[in-house]
Amino acid sequence: MPDVPSSTDASGGLTGVDYAVLLLYLLGIFAVGVAFAARNKTASDMFAAGGQSPWWASGLSAFMTMFSANTFVVWGGIAYRLGLVAVAINLMYGVAALLVGYFVAGKWKSIGVKTPAEFIRLRYGAAALHFYTWTMTVFRIVTTAGALYALGRILVALMPLADGNPLQDPDTGNLSLFWGIILFSSIVVLYTMVGGLWAVLMTDVVQFIVLNLAVLFVIPLAIAKAGGVAAVLTSAGETVVDTAGHTLLSPIAGDYTFFFLAGWCGVHFFMIGAEWAFVQRFLCVPDANAAKKSTYLFGVLYLVSPLLWLMPPLIWRVVAPIPAGATFQTILHLQETAYIDACRAVLPAGMVGLMIAAMFSATASMVSSQLNVFSGVLTRDIYRPLVGAGEEDSSLVWVGRVLTILLGTILIAVALAYETLGGAEKVIVGITELIVVALLAPTIWGLFSRSITGRAVWATASLSLVTGVIARWGLTAEGFLSSSLPEISAWAQANSSTVKTCTGVVLPVIILLIIQLLSKGTAHGYQQVAALAAASEAKREAEREKQRPVLASRAPATIVSLSLIVCGLVMASLVFFNDDNRPLIVLFAALLWGIGGVILWFAARNHRSPRRRGGPPAG
């Protein structure tokens, strides 16, 4: 196999140039948060971007909210261990997002709510609001903490420290997982607290572009290191990954069956359509059409991109196979670090630092989105009614910032406990299958059904969760029902994937269908939502008659384009630190400049158009 220059130093960690690029990138991300701090004059600005986000920024941000270090550690790990299975799983996000764009996204924007929690309160009552707020907060803290754990895994593999450094892990000589999680998580919490949703949206767009360009450069270099396309395909086709004889080129293997994929698509239809961080993206744009377009963009990206950014760990399986007789812990470590191992083996000095920075930013996207949405719900829908504050009360911004810090602290504590739970893949897949549809299906159902009431929330959640817990923990080999129901337990263990999909996805939908058939008349909550939707439509019509439509802000495009141009300058400077791959570095910088220039040009052109029609300039 050809010898490709590595970005890592002799110790296997980052070079000084990589550290410099990483530091500059993080400072730039924090600067974006500070730049948008002044826009957060009200709670609407901080938690909904004032309804002025461009559709493309909302769509890219939704894409990156699903995209985090979990993509590299969890799905990258599955790509290393099982191959194209990881790609098939991620394609389901794209199918689900397209369905949400067609059926749900525009509906959310058209009803006129400021937050998804406001809809829950109107449609199902205050008790349901509190139930959703606290259960979804706990759920998202656990899953988002997994992203912080995954990021920590990447960092500790790359950052050797001198002996005696208090941040060092004595077993590896690198930055300890404990301090890696605390240090980098704190940065995310701080810029989310300062910049609000605007900071989240803008950093999402920048790191989307940088990260995907970086991955495009990794793939041909990794293929070259593995001996070429033919060698990769031959080896992948011969590598058997499970007892059924599936290879790395099979879309299914192990527990990840076609039935699982269908269920995973169903889970994420309800997640993307009703989970509060995604609904926030539908509400922060000017109108329902923009909400649809943003979700279509999200869906299309997830139909075309997974093969690209899951190729490096799959190729790395060819370069560095799993040793015969490897223990569970050895395999877990190999798969969780496979992505970054592939990158640091082939990228030139400086670009691994950029890749790490983009991975950090991707994780920051997911974490900051969840922090922003739940601090927003606690501020606007729990705290504000208690104190009687007005919607435009500036004190709510400070309350939101304090709550962001509190939630961030809890998040970090949970992330530190992740290693004892069996790794990120086991926890995230399991809890997502169990909880998402049971909690979120009634929300989407309530957007369209006139008759169901708050009882649907309680019945669906309680029956589905109890059944799911029994299936996952009661019927296992050591479960509390295994001895009393041995035949059922044995069948459940032999068909665990089917059982989990049925209890997690199919059962909640069946329960809601039964409730729908038994419900009569029009629920009071539906009437309240319909009244709000009518008032919102009347307000939009009045604005249209005045030729004063709500316009997307030009500032996002300007900030993004300038950020990309600066990134291009940093990349161009790397030619002075690399004897090899200089054309690659120059091409990367040129692409960043080109994309930045195109975005700036489109923003200027679109911004002039409304003014010629008599509308005011956007902010």
pLDDT, tens digit, 9 for 90 and up, residues 362-418: 777 677 777 777 787 788 778 877 776 665 666 777 787 788 888 888 888 888 877
Q: What is the CATH number of the domain that holds 404?
A: 1.20.1730.10
Q: What is the number of alpha carbons within 13 Å of residue 302 lying toward its C-beta?
A: 32
C-alpha pair distances (Å), 225 with each of 1, 29, 155, 157, 317 = 6, 33, 23, 21, 12
Q: What is the mean pLDDT of residues 293-303?
A: 93
**Higher pLDDT pick, 368 / 230:** 230
Specify the number of domains making up the chain. Answer: 1
**Higher pLDDT pick, 577 / 37:** 577
Q: What is the mean pLDDT of residues 294-310?
A: 91
pLDDT band at 4 (very low <50, low <70, confident <90, very high): very low
Which tokens is 245 given? 């004889």
pLDDT, tens digit, 9 for 90 and up, residues 68-92: 666 777 788 899 999 999 999 999 9
Range of the domain at 162: 16-35+42-453+519-612
pLDDT at 265: 94
Residue 611 pLDDT > 50: no
pLDDT at 320: 92
Which of 21-35, 290-304, 407-421 is least confident? 21-35
Q: What is the mean pLDDT of residues 127-138?
A: 86
pLDDT, tens digit, 9 for 90 and up, residues 204-222: 777 677 777 777 778 888 8
Residue 246 pLDDT > 90: yes
Residue 13 pLDDT > 70: no
Residue 432 pLDDT > 50: yes
What lies within 8 Å, CB to CB, of 420 at 6+ separation is none
Residue 198 pLDDT > 70: no
Residue 41 pLDDT > 60: no
- Count of CB atoms situated within 10 Å of the CB of 580: 11
Instruction: Answer positive or negative: Cα dihedral of 132, 297, 353, 197.
Output: negative
Q: Alpha helix (H) ranges present in 36-54?
A: 43-48
Average pLDDT value for the chain: 81
pLDDT at 128: 92
Distance of alpha carbon 401 from alpha carbon 424, whole angstroms: 28
pLDDT at 600: 78
pLDDT at 607: 56
Angle at 471 between CA 467 and CA 476, to 5 degrees: 155
Residue 618 pLDDT > 60: no
Distance of alpha carbon 460 from alpha carbon 435, whole angstroms: 11
Give the CA-trace dihedral at 131, 133, 136, 142, to 10 degrees. -120
Helix axes 85-103, 258-274, angle to 10 degrees: 40
Distance of alpha carbon 128 from alpha carbon 462, whole angstroms: 13
Q: What is the mean pLDDT of residues 266-290?
A: 88
Which tokens is 269 given? 């239809």
Which tokens is 204 given? 């999402």
Q: Which of 168, 189, 81 is nearest to 423 (CA)?
A: 81
Q: Which of 55, 51, 57, 29 is nearest to 39 (CA)?
A: 51
pLDDT at 523: 96
pLDDT band at 194 (very low <50, low <70, confident <90, very high): low
Q: What is the mean pLDDT of residues 230-244?
A: 93
Find out whether 279 and 116 touch, Cβ atoms under 8 Å: yes
pLDDT at 241: 93
In a domain, 496, yes or no: no
**Cross-strand partners of 160:** 174
Angle at 361 between CA 134 and CA 583, to 5 degrees: 160
pLDDT, tens digit, 9 for 90 and up, residues 96-105: 999 999 999 9
pLDDT at 351: 76
Instruction: Tell me the percentage of the chain whose pLDDT exceeds 90.
Output: 28
pLDDT, tens digit, 9 for 90 and up, residues 62-71: 887 777 666 7
pLDDT band at 39 (very low <50, low <70, confident <90, very high): low
What's the first-to-final CA gap in the chain, in angstroms? 55
C-alpha pair distances (Å), 444 with each of 96, 288, 300, 441 = 14, 16, 22, 6
In a domain, 469, yes or no: no
In a domain, 476, yes or no: no
Which tokens is 129 given? 């609001």
Which 8-state DSSP code applies to residue 288? H
Q: Which of 528, 540, 406, 448 is nearest to 118 (CA)?
A: 528
In a domain, 307, yes or no: yes
What lies within 8 Å, CB to CB, of 412 at 6+ separation is 145, 148, 181, 182, 185, 186, 189
In a domain, 8, yes or no: no
Q: What is the mean pLDDT of residues 477-481?
A: 81
Select, from the ranges 300-309, 584-593, 604-613, the one with the highest average predicted confidence (pLDDT).
300-309
Residue 10 pLDDT > 70: no
Concatenating the DSSP letter of every residue in 467-515 gives: HHHIIIIISSTTSTTTTTSHHHHHHHHHTHHHHHHIIIIIHHHHHHHHH
Distance of alpha carbon 45 from alpha carbon 37, whole angstroms: 10
- pTM reported for the whole predicted model: 0.78
In a domain, 495, yes or no: no
pLDDT band at 116 (very low <50, low <70, confident <90, very high): confident
In a domain, 6, yes or no: no
Give the CA-trace dihedral at 195, 201, 203, 207, to 10 degrees. 170
Residue 552 pLDDT > 60: no
Residue 51 pLDDT > 60: no
Distance of alpha carbon 589 from alpha carbon 568, whole angstroms: 4
Concatenating the DSSP letter of every residue in 229-254 gives: HHHHHHHHHH-B-STT--BTT-S-BT
In a domain, 498, yes or no: no
**Higher pLDDT pick, 514 / 471:** 514
What lies within 8 Å, CB to CB, of 164 at 6+ separation is none
Find out whether 71 and 362 touch, Cβ atoms under 8 Å: yes
